[in-house]
Structures are given as structure tokens and as C-alpha cells.
Chains A and B, each alone.
Chain A
Amino acid sequence: MTTEPIAPPSSPQDAASVLPAPAASGTGGAGTGGAPPLYRRLLARLVEANPAVVTVLSVFTALVFGGILIDVTSSGVVHAWSHAGSHPGRALSLTFTTVADAYGAILSGSVLSPSTLGHAVSTGQGWAQVFNPISETCVAATPLILAGVGVAIGFRTGVFNIGAQGQLIAGSIVALYVGFAVNLPIWIHLPLVILAGAAGGAAAGLIPGILKARTGAHEVIVTIMLNYVFLNLLNYVLGGAPFQLPGQTNEISQKMLPSARMPHLFGSSLRVNLSFVIAIAMAALASWFMNRSTLGFSFKVSGANANAARTAGMSSTKVTILVFAISGLFAGMAGMATLSGTNFFLSSGYGGTIGFNAITVALLGRNRPWGVVWASMLFAMLDVGGASMQIRTGITLDLTAVIQATIIFFIATPMLVREIYRLRSTGAGALQLFTKGWSG
């Protein structure tokens, strides 16, 4: 036998051989000493296509793409390049300043504008103007956060809830009713309104949940159809008593009583209100729920491996029904938040496309509640800042929609991002989520 002598285990650690090899014995070969230095490990982490890196790069790539779009549609830039022979420097600088102006306008419209700040500092007045952009961004982000977290919880559990829009409307209708039909002191009225929104959304979520759990109906189709049901339900209830504003023929509802409205956080000149705090608190609660509650754990297990969940005795019926109820609850609260925070009444088309953008921010936030918060803030910034960009630079608001869509395009095609940036692939399971949910 040409066996090398097998050294008897030299230390108890070696014998137990739980492997984090002590540097001395594990890496003691010729030439290499110790683990690679920190910067190399960091770099390795970065070039590995871990999902967070792909997400950040997707946003970055989309912004670059948006920049290119701004340039090629700007007559000034195009004109400068057609005369680039004589003024190459000018063409180049215009290329960058045009994009910088546009993105600068978005930032100053959604976060902080240097000119209003300067004005406020020098005159001591107009502080509301300074904080107005960020306040507006928070207001716009509030329903996105709530609905997005709800959708994200569904994704983590392996169900594709496309019905946030309908659940949002359901929650709004119930919250509105409680908001105008009863007269109570604010400290009891407001909590009731919040509960009503949550309950309305949860009830609407139960429908696809029960259908899927009991009959195996595909949740995507059911929830899409239910969106139309709730959309039309809203139009119906707005058409008459008790919801319609008396004396109106338009589809406009009564207003919520003042005791049903969210208090402002920083005075009446800034629209940011308690519902933003509630949204953040609900995201924290969702994060806790997924990580620390037993129900959240069974959600995650069901989403990651339904067979293993079954084997371990988790009931897929219970999980399916409950996850839809909870997902709907968040969507319902999203509808309530804007209603009671800034709108105070319902009209046809209420909710816009929040329910669908919720899917987007859930994906962008990688289905983690805190990720959804950041993604919602980013989307709200683009929405709010886009308007000011249009005013200041004349670039159409649609550009921000293109950027938002492009972000999602790259998120959904991680392979492409990996190729662009030559990232090494790890077994990037989380990245496949987008396609996974559709298999039902």
C-alpha cells in the first residue's frame, strides 16, 4: 500500500474536526499563509453576484440608461453633437450637464432644494418650503411601503398576490365608511379607521386565499379578476347613498370626519402625517413577524420548499389562507393610509396604480420589509421629483416611469446584470424569485 501515514488526530479539535480549520493546520501549506486579506475578501464578495449587489447595480444601470435617453431626446445635446467637429468640448459638457440638470431637478424636487435652503438660511423664513419635498416623498411612499410589504410577504411564501390594488380599494371603502358614518373622539375614531382599513383589505385577501387553498385556483388569475371587481365595486358605491357626497351626481364620496384624519407630524404646512409613521412601524412589524413569529417561519418554509413544509407537518391550506389575509391586510392599510392621511374622500380611480407599483417595490426590495421601505422611498422620489424635473427642465415626467420600468427590467434579468458587470455567479437562489412565483 502506498498510503501516506495517517497521522492520528493531533488535537481534540482535529478529532472532532468541525471544520473551520485552525490557520496553523488548515492553511499551513507552502506559499500561502492565512486567509486572504480583508480587501480581497470584500472584493470577492462584491464581484460575486449576490442579490443585493445586483439590485444596486440594476438601479445604477437604469439611471445610466435614463441619462442616455435624456441626451438623445434633448434637441440641445443632439444639436451640439452635430456640430461636435468645431466644439467637441461643448458637446461633451452639454451631454453631462443636461443629465445632471435633470437628475438634479429630481433630487431637489424630492429631497432638498439648495435654493430654498439658501433662502431659508439667509432670511430665516420659508422653512416649510425646505422640507416640503421630503415631506411629499414620504407621503407618496406611505401607501407603497404598506402595499409593497404585503406583496413581499406573499412572495416570500411563494404566492403571487397581484390583487393588492383590489384589496387596497376594499380597505379604503371600509375605512371611509367608518370615517364618516360614526362620530367619535379622535383617540378612538382613528384607531377604528385603521382597523377598518386593515379588516377590509384582509377580507378581500381571504377570497383568493380560500379559493386557492380549497379549490387550487391559480391566485394570479383570481387576484387579477378581483381587481376589476373591486374597481367596479368602488364605482358602484360612489354612485349613491350612503357613500356619495349628498347633492352630487359625480362619483365622489363624503369626506371623512376630522376625528378620522391622521394628525400632521410637523404642522399643517407639511403634508407628512401619522400614516407615514404607521407604514414604517408596520414594516418593522412585518420584519419581526417573518423572522420571529412561528407563523412567519411557516410562511418562509412554505415559500422556500413546499414539500419540506408538508413533510414537517405544516398545513399548506392554513398557510395559503393566512398569507393572503395578511397580504390583503397590508394593502387595505395602504388604501386607508392615503385616505385618512391626505385625501379624506374617495373618487373613481382612487389608488391609481399603487397596487401594481407595490409588486415592483417588493421585487426591488428583495421581499424584505426594510428593502421595500428603501425601494418605496426611491420610487416616491422619482415620482415626486419627476414633476419638478418636468417643470424645471421640460423633460417629460414619463422619463421617471421609464427609469422605474428599467430598474425592474434589470432586476428581473439578473443574468444580464451579471454579464454587464462580469460578476461571478453564486448559486443566486433569491434572484430566481421573479419567475418562480408563476409556477403556482
Chain B
Amino acid sequence: MRLELDGITKRFGPLVANDHVDLTVEPGEIHCLLGENGAGKSTLMNVLFGLLHADSGEIRIDGTPVTFADPGEAVRHGIGMVHQHFMLIPVFTVAENVVLGFEPTRRFGWLDRRRAHAEVRRLSSEFGLEVDPGALVETLPVGVQQRVEILKALQREARLLILDEPTAVLTPQETEALFRIMRSLRDSGRSILFITHKLKEVLSVADRITVMRLGRVVGSTTPDEADEKSLATMMVGRDVELVITKTPASPAEPVLQLEQLSVADERGVTVVEDVNLEIRAGEIVALAGVQGNGQTELAEAIVGLRPVRSGVLRVEGADLTDATPRERIRAGLAQVPEDRQADGLVLSMSIAENLILDQYDAPPFARHGVRDLSAMRAYGARALSEFDIRAASADVPAGTLSGGNQQKVVVARELSRKVKVLVASQPTRGLDVGSIEYVHRRIVDARNAGAAVLIISSELDEVLALGDRVAVMYRGRIVGIVDPAVGRETVGLMMAGAGEVPPPPPAVNATLGPGDGS
């Protein structure tokens, strides 16, 4: 399918999200759309998919102008979309979600479960996307939910597939698998519109690259002509420091101590086992590991969202093992949750309200149980400019923000408090290179100000760039704590459960054996 977008303009009130955007996708092409957070990529894709209606401009398919009143029409024209934020029904099974809207039915319109399951199994083996058709979506990790979304789009025989930041939540292995699928789809003549913030991915998979900024197309190029540096510059409009430079850590006294910590998941299976970890004031420990090896649960246990099965958790020596989230926040703990929309934000509330979600009852935002709305608004406006959150004002609902800007709201909230312990899960998920640079710098600043920082990231680059020490998790255990200087290769092997575990770096005393519980 040859797709042409011609002069697409979309406004939200005073804000011009797409400003006369022209874009052509050739048949059998992987076309990457690159741009800052809030550049208007998702908006453009939503217009193309019939979810939003352009104020002006034309969409042509194979030369014929088309208009889509709703996504159903877009699907009938052979367009499939995987959204930046999942559009799955949590209480339905995988199979039910995949066939939703196109259900195979038995007599009297009953859903034919068996055929739905068979269909999902066929698709998942055909494309190498492994899922359990009978699993409830709400119980699945995000990476698997993403696979369900892709299956759903593929099922409908899409000739043009829109993938809005699909790799933000995927492991490197899953990403590779997705790229194989994308290439084979391309080779079979289908077109793919692919949005990502990861420049390496762009260079490896794209046939053409279009760059947007401030709602406009600012250039287009190909992977042969571009490199990471030039792409970053084109996107952000200035030179970007792709890898953060930081001074060596000078760790002081231990702040966060985990002793023999074990944590179970919803089904009661132990997913974190006997973890001993000590993080000192002024150092960043980065937790590496393939997704699903217990990192998420460990982070949740530290911040109090998941009960600890056994072991002890201390902050500055105080036992917080059974403390409520509130008591932990009081004790100086801050967290960036992994899933910003599920745990981090209230989408229907304003950005300003979201920015003070954990301080709403403390001065200056409240006195004697009465909120001070003007203090909140003033603070919101300041945070907006400080963290470069792109929004019309701090009073608009957080749900209208672009994905990356939503992430910035969460990061801004957690980093603007003075914290003793920062637990950040995927802190730069969905951020553009410029914002990553900024958030990394803020995290290092927090470290320099004496915070003990734990970073959980599936991005090896991020782990190695930020961590003063790197702890590798495999099957619920910390299999080693190394200096990031050991390199990608070694850490990668450890993450896979193989490889020599190098001795811990001498400067720090990582206790790997059973703790003495003192």
C-alpha cells in the first residue's frame, strides 16, 4: 500500500499538534517516524487510524483520497495500529482481546472460544510471538501485553502496520524478534510506520526516516546517510550528549539495606529470593536483568506496593519491612513506577495535581487539611518549564500529554523532592534523547546530593551509563555485582544466567552471602 499524508493539520485548542504534515510511505517500506516528546507523532498516527479527525489535509491510499470516521474504517482499508499505550481489556483473555471486534462465532452469536484460541496459536507460531491464549491480560507483564497488541493488529490482515513505540517496553531479545517480524512483513510487501526514540533501532531497521519537531516535518533521511549523532541533532535541534558523563561516586554510609529479601508474585511463586543488597548515600546501583527475572517485584517490595515474604528492609538503619507506602515516603523514599499510566498518574486529573500527588497534604500545597490551589498551580507552572514538559498549561489533564511528557511528569514529581532513596524503574521509558539526557543528569544530581539510587532498566546502555555498580538479577537472585567497566558482553552473559561472575569491585562491600540480620 502506498500511503500519502498531505498537509495534515490537527489542533487541540490553541495547540497545533500537527502543522501541515506531509508524509509518504511506499509499499514494502519500513518508515521510521522520529521526533521529540510531544512532536505530534502519536497524534498523526491517530489521525491516520481514524481515532482523531484532522482539521485539514488529505489522506490518500494508492492515490485515492480516503477519510476514516472511526478506526473500524481504517482497519477495513488495511491499516493496523499498535498504540503507545495499550488498548487491551484487562479482564479479558488474550484470545478474547485478539479477536475482539472480529469474533469467530458459533450459532446464535456465541463466541467460539476454541476457534479464537486456535487462531491466536496459529498467529503466534507464524510470527514467533509466544503468548498463552487463555491468560488474562491483566496478569501479564507489559512485554507480553505488547505482543498481544501486535497479534491483534496482524490478525486483521493489515497492509500498513502502525507501531507507536512498540519497543519501549520490550527486552532487547523481544525487540530483535519484532524486527525480524517487521522485516518479513516488509518483504511480503506490507508497509510499516514505526515510531521509536531509540536511535540504534532506527538505524538498524528503517528504510526511510522522517523527523518531526513541534508538529512539523523537519527533515527526512535514510540510515545510510545518518548516524545517531546527526539524528539526535535533527530531532532536538541542538547537540545532545548521548552518554552521560559523571564524576566517580563517593559513597558514604549505607542507606538502603536489603537482607535476605524474598518476594512472591500474585500466584504465590517466589520471584525474588534471598536478595542482599546495600546501597550507600551518593551511589547509583543499576539493576540489570532480562525482564521477568524479579526486578519489578523487587522494586515494588522496596517501595511497599508488594508484601515482603521474608527478610528485612532498612532505610538508614530503620526497619521498614512492613511499613506502608506512606511511611516509606515519609522516610525519604521516592519511586518512579514502571508503568506510568497504571501506577504513576491519574490521567483525568491536571498535570499540576499529578505533580503533587505525594505531597498534596503537606505545605505549601495544603494547610490544616485545606488545599492551596494557587500554590499548586504556581508549582506546576514552574515544573513545566524546569522539566520541559510540553503542555498548553499545568491545568490540562495529564491524559492529554504525549507519552514521553507523561513520563516527565512522574520523573519531575519524584525528583523534585529531597529524597534519601530513589527507586526508578525504567525512568526514561518513552523519552526522547534530549529528555533522557536531562533525566539522567537529574538522577546523577540526586546522587551527588547524597541519595542512594536504585535504577531498574532493561536498557543495557542506561544501566552501564548510570550505574556506579551494576547488580545483575537472574531468576530472582542477584547473581553478581560488578563494575560497569566490565562491559556489555560480560553483563549480558550474566543476565542470561551464564558466564563467569567477576569478583565484586573492591571499593564497595557488597554482601553476597547470607546477611547476619544485624
Measuring CB to CB, which residues of chain A are less than 8 angstroms from any residue of chain B? Answer: 1-4, 6, 8-9, 14, 16-21, 26-27, 29-32, 35-36, 291-295, 297-298, 300-301, 304-305, 307-315, 424, 427, 429-430, 439
What's the least CB distance linking B413 to chain A, in Å?
A: 9
By a CB distance below 8 angstroms, the chain A residues around B337 are 311
> With A18-B384, A293-B371, A310-B325 known to touch, is A305 a contact of B234 (CB < 8 Å)?
no
By a CB distance below 8 angstroms, the chain B residues around A35 are 11, 14
Let me know if B364 is at the binding interface, CB within 8 A. Answer: no
Judging by beta carbons under 8 Å apart, are B325 and A1 in contact?
no
A90 to B306: give the CA distance in the assembly, Å: 73
By a CB distance below 8 angstroms, the chain A residues around B329 are 312-313
Let me know if B366 is at the binding interface, CB within 8 A. Answer: yes
What's the least CB distance linking B469 to chain A, in Å?
A: 26
By a CB distance below 8 angstroms, the chain B residues around A9 are 237
> With A3-B221, A8-B237, A298-B360 known to touch, is A21 a contact of B19 (CB < 8 Å)?
yes
Let me know if B479 is at the binding interface, CB within 8 A. Answer: no
Judging by beta carbons under 8 Å apart, are B343 and A20 in contact?
no
Judging by beta carbons under 8 Å apart, are A19 and B305 in contact?
no
Q: Which of B9-49 contact A (CB under 8 A)?
A: 9, 11, 14-17, 19-20, 38
Let me know if B361 is at the binding interface, CB within 8 A. Answer: yes
By a CB distance below 8 angstroms, the chain A residues around B226 are 1
A126 to B388: give the CA distance in the assembly, Å: 68
Return the contact of B358 from the options A3, A21, A29, A313 (Cβ within 8 A).
A313
B15, B330, B349, B357 — most chain A CB neighbours (10 Å): B357
Closest 8 CB pairs of A and B: A313-B326, A3-B219, A294-B361, A312-B357, A29-B20, A26-B16, A313-B329, A312-B358
A312 to B330: give the CA distance in the assembly, Å: 11
Judging by beta carbons under 8 Å apart, are A308 and B344 in contact?
yes
By a CB distance below 8 angstroms, the chain A residues around B213 are 6
Judging by beta carbons under 8 Å apart, are A294 and B214 in contact?
no
Could you write out 26 A-B pairs with CB less than 8 Å apart?
A1-B219, A2-B220, A3-B218, A4-B218, A6-B218, A9-B237, A16-B388, A19-B16, A19-B38, A19-B215, A21-B15, A27-B19, A29-B7, A29-B20, A31-B56, A36-B11, A292-B371, A294-B361, A297-B353, A305-B342, A305-B345, A308-B344, A308-B346, A310-B305, A312-B360, A429-B399
By a CB distance below 8 angstroms, the chain B residues around A298 are 360-361
A310 to B343: give the CA distance in the assembly, Å: 8
Return the contact of B55 from the options A14, A17, A36 (Cβ within 8 A).
A36
Judging by beta carbons under 8 Å apart, are B214 and A19 in contact?
yes
B215, B237, B330 — most chain A CB neighbours (10 Å): B237
Judging by beta carbons under 8 Å apart, are A6 and B234 in contact?
yes
By a CB distance below 8 angstroms, the chain A residues around B347 are 304-305, 429
Let me know if B324 is at the binding interface, CB within 8 A. Answer: yes
Nearest neighbor of B400 in chain A, beta-carbon distance? A427
What's the least CB distance linking B26 to chain A, in Å?
A: 15
By a CB distance below 8 angstroms, the chain B residues around A30 are 20
Return the contact of B343 from the options A31, A292, A294, A308 (Cβ within 8 A).
A308
Judging by beta carbons under 8 Å apart, are A294 and B16 in contact?
no
Judging by beta carbons under 8 Å apart, are A6 and B219 in contact?
yes
> With A17-B390, A18-B385, A20-B14 known to touch, is A311 a contact of B303 (CB < 8 Å)?
yes
By a CB distance below 8 angstroms, the chain B residues around A427 are 399
Return the contact of B234 from the options A3, A295, A314, A315 (Cβ within 8 A).
A3
Judging by beta carbons under 8 Å apart, are B370 and A292 in contact?
yes
A1, A8, A309, A315 — most chain B CB neighbours (10 Å): A1
Let me know if B493 is at the binding interface, CB within 8 A. Answer: no
Return the contact of B360 from the options A6, A26, A294, A305 (Cβ within 8 A).
A294
By a CB distance below 8 angstroms, the chain B residues around A309 are 346
Judging by beta carbons under 8 Å apart, are B343 and A307 in contact?
yes
Return the contact of A6 from the options B237, B303, B391 (Cβ within 8 A).
B237
Please, what's the 1-or-0 string for B359-391, where 1 marks a CB less than 8 Å from any CB in chain A? 011000010011101000000000011001011
Let me know if B348 is at the binding interface, CB within 8 A. Answer: yes
A9 to B326: give the CA distance in the assembly, Å: 44
Nearest neighbor of B217 in chain A, beta-carbon distance? A4
Number of interface residues of B (CB under 8 A): 64
Return the contact of A301 from the options B11, B303, B346, B384 (Cβ within 8 A).
B346
Nearest neighbor of A32 in chain B, beta-carbon distance? B56
Return the contact of B324 from the options A14, A313, A430 (Cβ within 8 A).
A313
A315 to B399: give the CA distance in the assembly, Å: 24
Nearest neighbor of A430 in chain B, beta-carbon distance? B348
Let me know if B53 is at the binding interface, CB within 8 A. Answer: yes
Judging by beta carbons under 8 Å apart, are A19 and B326 in contact?
no
By a CB distance below 8 angstroms, the chain B residues around A21 are 14-16, 19, 214-215
A95 to B9: give the CA distance in the assembly, Å: 49
Nearest neighbor of B392 in chain A, beta-carbon distance? A20
Let me know if B230 is at the binding interface, CB within 8 A. Answer: yes
Let me know if B516 is at the binding interface, CB within 8 A. Answer: no
Let me know if B489 is at the binding interface, CB within 8 A. Answer: no
By a CB distance below 8 angstroms, the chain A residues around B220 are 2-3
B91, B343, B370 — most chain A CB neighbours (10 Å): B343
Let me know if B225 is at the binding interface, CB within 8 A. Answer: yes
By a CB distance below 8 angstroms, the chain B residues around A312 are 325, 329, 357-358, 360
By a CB distance below 8 angstroms, the chain B residues around A307 are 342-343
Nearest neighbor of B333 in chain A, beta-carbon distance? A313
A30 to B19: give the CA distance in the assembly, Å: 11
What's the least CB distance linking A264 to chain B, in Å?
A: 35
> With A19-B16, A308-B343, A310-B305 known to touch, is A315 a contact of B326 (CB < 8 Å)?
yes
A26 to B10: give the CA distance in the assembly, Å: 11
Judging by beta carbons under 8 Å apart, are B326 and A1 in contact?
no
Return the contact of B349 from the options A2, A293, A300, A313 (Cβ within 8 A).
A300
A29 to B10: give the CA distance in the assembly, Å: 13
What's the least CB distance linking B307 to chain A, in Å?
A: 13
Judging by beta carbons under 8 Å apart, are A1 and B214 in contact?
no
Let me know if B335 is at the binding interface, CB within 8 A. Answer: yes
Judging by beta carbons under 8 Å apart, are B19 and A19 in contact?
no
Judging by beta carbons under 8 Å apart, are A313 and B390 in contact?
no
Judging by beta carbons under 8 Å apart, are A16 and B369 in contact?
no
By a CB distance below 8 angstroms, the chain A residues around B342 are 305, 307-308
By a CB distance below 8 angstroms, the chain A residues around B357 are 301, 308, 312
What's the least CB distance linking A217 to chain B, in Å?
A: 20
A75 to B50: give the CA distance in the assembly, Å: 49
Judging by beta carbons under 8 Å apart, are B9 and A29 in contact?
yes
Judging by beta carbons under 8 Å apart, are A429 and B38 in contact?
no
Judging by beta carbons under 8 Å apart, are B369 and A294 in contact?
yes
Nearest neighbor of A14 in chain B, beta-carbon distance? B214
A430 to B394: give the CA distance in the assembly, Å: 21
What's the least CB distance linking B335 to chain A, in Å?
A: 7
By a CB distance below 8 angstroms, the chain B residues around A310 are 305, 325, 343
A218 to B470: give the CA distance in the assembly, Å: 45
By a CB distance below 8 angstroms, the chain A residues around B38 are 19
A18 to B213: give the CA distance in the assembly, Å: 12
Please, what's the 1-or-0 string for B136-169, where 1 marks a CB less than 8 Å from any CB in chain A? 0000000000000000000000000000000000
A2 to B225: give the CA distance in the assembly, Å: 9
A19 to B214: give the CA distance in the assembly, Å: 7
By a CB distance below 8 angstroms, the chain B residues around A20 are 14-15, 392
A26 to B12: give the CA distance in the assembly, Å: 12
What's the least CB distance linking B73 to chain A, in Å?
A: 14
> With A21-B19, A26-B19 known to touch, is A308 a contact of B371 (CB < 8 Å)?
no
A246 to B273: give the CA distance in the assembly, Å: 72
What's the least CB distance linking A152 to chain B, in Å?
A: 16
Please, what's the 1-or-0 string for B200-238, where 1 marks a CB less than 8 Å from any CB in chain A? 000000000001011101111100011000100110010
Return the contact of B219 from the options A2, A29, A297, A308 (Cβ within 8 A).
A2
Judging by beta carbons under 8 Å apart, are B335 and A305 in contact?
no
A369 to B144: give the CA distance in the assembly, Å: 42
> With A18-B384, A293-B370 known to touch, is A313 a contact of B392 (CB < 8 Å)?
no
By a CB distance below 8 angstroms, the chain A residues around B373 are 292
